[in-house]
A and B are shown apart, each in its own frame.
Chain A
Amino acid sequence: MQIVAQIVFLIALVFGISFFVRNIKKMLRNIKLGKTIDRSDNPSERWSKTLRIAFGQSKMVRKPVSGFLHVIVYLGFIIINIEVLEIIIDGLFGTHRVLSFMGGFYNVLIGIFEVLALLVFIGVIIFWIRRNVLNIYRFLSRELKGWPKNDANYILYFEMVLMTLFLVMNAADYQLQINGAVHYAHEGGIIGGFPISQFIAPLFEGLSNSTLIIIERGAWWLHIIGILFFLNYLYYSKHLHILLAFPNVYFSKLKPKGEMDNVEAVKKEVALMMDPNADPFAAPPEGEEEGEPEKFGASDVMDLNQVQLLNSYTCTECGRCTAECPANQTGKKLSPRKIMMDTRDRLEEVGDNINKNGKFEDDGKQLLDDYILREELWACTTCNACVEACPIGIDPLSIILEMRRYLVMEQSAAPNELAVSLTNIENNGAPWPYNQMDRLNWAKEN
């Protein structure tokens, strides 16, 4: 019987992990559809930023309530997962509480896990209330309707269930030890600290040992299968952030926020145009034979860079960016969170397309217009409030800019008044129709 359980456990573990690995590989392949971008500079600065912002949660706590709750859930999750290590060993080798040889320290450890499990449980309930009962601006946007809202709630229910199972398992174990059941009771007294589950145990008092064992084993199995399921749920969820937050912060932009990249392909063309020896009228015929000219800007996910695509998978859909966005606050359609969600949705669609066809077959859709509207793109003031607000180093503005580049350079589709201003800059060096020769007139006026 024991050996059967071990084999079932092994199969579940292998199945759960290999499915997860498969999803992660798919995700990496999708990210690599983007253009390469070099973010290998300044590793020490990148590490320290990762330590501060991802491990240290420094930007999370700018919103004290959700920040504090998250620190509990985050720490709780990481620490409680040490317990998973024991569960895996027990499952594979048919042992029970294999780490208990640590004695008093083990008791303290289990005690801490229990306290954290309770705190996580309470934290998650408050998260749920904030999401579903209180009218918090960033949870009310239209892009959260449907799946994103459900996804957020599923995660919270899941955490509640996992924490409950953990505590129930311990409570049953504790009661079994009190009852002196075989395999559970020890010579030296109670093993494990049960500061929380001891209050659940009284519920089990009248039960027979065999019922208790069923409860304890049942909770144990559901707990580990739940964790394996959760692991595989991540890929389909905004909860992928619990893994990606770290690399995402590491690869985020270190330069001043106001600095926007100078497009390399444009540099070459401008150098050519500025070259007094080049004949501007001679170039085109030969130029066309040199193969397809580079596409400027982005109309689809493949035109974005890999960090931008990683950003889209990492986004927690928290909406801190959107809450700070001046365009969104004044009722415009633009929501930086939606920019990230759309990018991920389209990337997934492209990925599925590749899975089905072996390579990407034109599906008549793209990120621009089918997901992100021009009206959204043109509402951005490039104020960087979204970038500043994001607790995990996501840069929605860079995607907006890249898509504007496509609109203007590939499609000449700037809004009318803007197009006029750009023409003014081109013709007379100012966005208004003044003559450049009048540029110093102010000094003569009084």
Chain B
Amino acid sequence: MAEAIKVPTMAEYMAEGKKPEVLFWVGCAGSFDDRAKKITKAFVKLLNEAGVDFAVLGTEESCTGDPAKRAGNEFLFQMQAAMNIEVLNGYEIKKVVTACPHCFNTIKNEYPSLGGNYQVMHHTQFLKSLLNEGRLKVEGGKFKGKRITFHDPCYLGRANGEYEAPRDLLKKLEVELIEMRKCKSNGLCCGAGGAQMFKEPEPGNKDVNVARTEQAMETNPEIIAAGCPFCNTMMTDGVKSKEKEDSVAVMDVAEMIANANDL
């Protein structure tokens, strides 16, 4: 499937004097990381399939500031927030969807008191609403009966209390969902949050992603489903460290749906 996917920008919409239904916030990982770009594209295909009128900011998008804030650089965070809010408000954005729980948390919770008020959804929530509205169909086919475990992203789950949207999507795929010993509010972090992604871990006896992958492996899964580009990287590395990459795949829920629908 080499055909280019349709990704309109806000600037193009503006030029035509139109407004999209929703802004897709791609995020840094989704824009630049090779693995995460696949998730981005899968999600765009689903948006196109469902006929969603969406746009991206493209080159006008910049880091939300999540890693800066959690690293302690509040200045940098607020500078990033101010720039992004200026752009978003300039386009009069009302609704934002993103495939990154960190972007989701930051824009939803931390932008309002800085002047950025939007309805913000995680892509699993948005996909669920598309399904409920009948705009998107999910085919069980490929994943039916497969053993799958879902790794809760901290910034979707504990941070924002959303545990069900990704699971509802997996149920629609008719998978055999097997929960890890530690799941939902007790889920173990993948080790990427709080800017850990961008530094070496402190001395210890194990990497966090390996510990989490071991918990996932206990369920003997065919696929570890994720909902965050950083978790995805961490779990993929964890699976590799166990030399299980040939038998266990790490996939974003959106990728699974796109895949099931042969997109």
The chain A residues found within 8 Å of chain B, CB to CB, are 255-260, 262-263, 266-267, 269-271, 273-274, 296-297, 324, 326-327, 329-334, 375, 378-385, 387-388, 401, 403-409, 414-418, 420-422, 425-426, 429-432, 434, 436-446
Which of A331, A383, A418 lies in contact with B195, CB distance below 8 A? Answer: A418
**Complex alpha-carbon distance, A342 and B160, angstroms:** 29
CB distance from A321 to the nearest CB of B (A): 12
Q: In the complex, are the beta carbons of B189 and A266 less than 8 A apart?
A: no
Which of A381, A439, A444 lies in contact with B31, CB distance below 8 A? Answer: A439
Q: In the complex, are the beta carbons of A381 and B191 less than 8 A apart?
A: yes
Which of B9, B37, B72 lies in contact with A445, CB distance below 8 A? Answer: B37
The 3 closest A-B pairs by CB, nearest first: A258-B159, A404-B72, A382-B194
**In the complex with contacts A260-B69, A404-B72, A436-B59 CB distance below 8 A:** yes
Inter-chain contacts of A404 with B (CB < 8 A): 70-72
**In the complex with contacts A256-B109, A444-B4, A409-B160 CB distance below 8 A:** no
**In the complex with contacts A417-B198, A439-B61, A409-B72 CB distance below 8 A:** yes
Q: In the complex, are the beta carbons of A267 and B208 less than 8 A apart?
A: no
**In the complex with contacts A401-B72, A425-B67, A430-B31, A329-B158 CB distance below 8 A:** no
Which of A257, A333, A381, A409 lies in contact with B75, CB distance below 8 A? Answer: A409
**What residue in chain A is nearest B75 (Cβ atoms)?**
A266
Q: Which of B76-84, B216-224, B249-257 makes up part of the contact surface? A: B76-84
Inter-chain contacts of A379 with B (CB < 8 A): 201-202, 204
Q: In the complex, are the beta carbons of B78 and A333 less than 8 A apart?
A: no
Q: In the complex, are the beta carbons of A329 and B211 less than 8 A apart?
A: yes
Q: Would you list 21 pairs from A and B whose C-beta atoms are within 8 A, ordered by A residue?
A: A259-B159, A262-B78, A262-B114, A263-B74, A270-B82, A297-B72, A327-B204, A330-B206, A331-B205, A331-B206, A332-B203, A379-B204, A385-B188, A401-B72, A405-B72, A417-B198, A418-B71, A438-B59, A440-B7, A441-B31, A446-B1
Inter-chain contacts of A375 with B (CB < 8 A): 202-203
**In the complex with contacts A332-B203, A406-B72, A425-B63, A258-B189 CB distance below 8 A:** no
**Complex alpha-carbon distance, A59 and B188, angstroms:** 18
Further 14 A-B residue pairs, CB within 8 A, beyond A385-B186, A439-B31: A255-B109, A260-B110, A381-B154, A381-B192, A383-B189, A383-B194, A388-B185, A407-B72, A418-B195, A421-B198, A422-B76, A436-B59, A439-B59, A442-B37
CB distance from A420 to the nearest CB of B (A): 8
Cβ-based interface call for B155 (8 A): yes
Q: In the complex, are the beta carbons of A446 and B2 less than 8 A apart?
A: yes
Inter-chain contacts of B159 with A (CB < 8 A): 256-259, 384
CB distance from A252 to the nearest CB of B (A): 15
CB distance from B258 to the nearest CB of A (A): 14
CB distance from A323 to the nearest CB of B (A): 11
Inter-chain contacts of A438 with B (CB < 8 A): 32, 59
Q: In the complex, are the beta carbons of A425 and B154 less than 8 A apart?
A: no
Q: In the complex, are the beta carbons of B198 and A258 less than 8 A apart?
A: no
Q: In the complex, are the beta carbons of A440 and B113 less than 8 A apart?
A: no
Inter-chain contacts of B1 with A (CB < 8 A): 446
**In the complex with contacts A263-B74, A333-B202, A384-B158 CB distance below 8 A:** yes
Interface 1/0 per residue, B215-254 and A, CB below 8 Å: 0000000000000000000000000000000000000000
Which of B63, B72, B74, B105 lies in contact with A431, CB distance below 8 A? Answer: B63
**What residue in chain B is nearest A404 (Cβ atoms)?**
B72
CB distance from B3 to the nearest CB of A (A): 8
Interface size on B, residues (CB 8 A): 76
Interface 1/0 per residue, B39-60 and A, CB below 8 Å: 0110010000000000010110
Q: In the complex, are the beta carbons of B4 and A446 less than 8 A apart?
A: yes
Which among B1, B73, B203 has the greatest number of chain A C-beta atoms within 10 A? Answer: B73
**What residue in chain B is nearest A434 (Cβ atoms)?**
B32
Q: In the complex, are the beta carbons of B192 and A442 less than 8 A apart?
A: no
Cβ-based interface call for B139 (8 A): no
**Complex alpha-carbon distance, A232 and B30, angstroms:** 58
**What residue in chain A is nearest B58 (Cβ atoms)?**
A440
Inter-chain contacts of B110 with A (CB < 8 A): 259-260, 262
Inter-chain contacts of B65 with A (CB < 8 A): 425
Inter-chain contacts of B188 with A (CB < 8 A): 324, 326, 329, 385
**Complex alpha-carbon distance, A128 and B200, angstroms:** 40
Cβ-based interface call for B196 (8 A): yes
Q: In the complex, are the beta carbons of B206 and A266 less than 8 A apart?
A: no
Which of B26, B74, B193, B199 lies in contact with A418, CB distance below 8 A? Answer: B199
Inter-chain contacts of A329 with B (CB < 8 A): 188, 208, 211
Within 8 A of A (CB), among B155-189: 155, 158-161, 185-186, 188-189
CB distance from B182 to the nearest CB of A (A): 8
Inter-chain contacts of B161 with A (CB < 8 A): 256
**Complex alpha-carbon distance, A436 and B58, angstroms:** 9
**Complex alpha-carbon distance, A256 and B207, angstroms:** 28
**Complex alpha-carbon distance, A114 and B65, angstroms:** 59
**Complex alpha-carbon distance, A422 and B63, angstroms:** 11
**In the complex with contacts A267-B78, A434-B32, A408-B71 CB distance below 8 A:** yes
Q: In the complex, are the beta carbons of A256 and B160 less than 8 A apart?
A: yes
Cβ-based interface call for B5 (8 A): yes
Inter-chain contacts of A263 with B (CB < 8 A): 74, 78
Q: In the complex, are the beta carbons of A331 and B204 less than 8 A apart?
A: yes
CB distance from B79 to the nearest CB of A (A): 6
Inter-chain contacts of B154 with A (CB < 8 A): 258, 381-385
Q: In the complex, are the beta carbons of B204 and A332 less than 8 A apart?
A: yes
Cβ-based interface call for B117 (8 A): no
Inter-chain contacts of B200 with A (CB < 8 A): 415, 417
Q: In the complex, are the beta carbons of B73 and A408 less than 8 A apart?
A: yes
CB distance from B126 to the nearest CB of A (A): 18
Q: In the complex, are the beta carbons of B63 and A429 less than 8 A apart?
A: yes
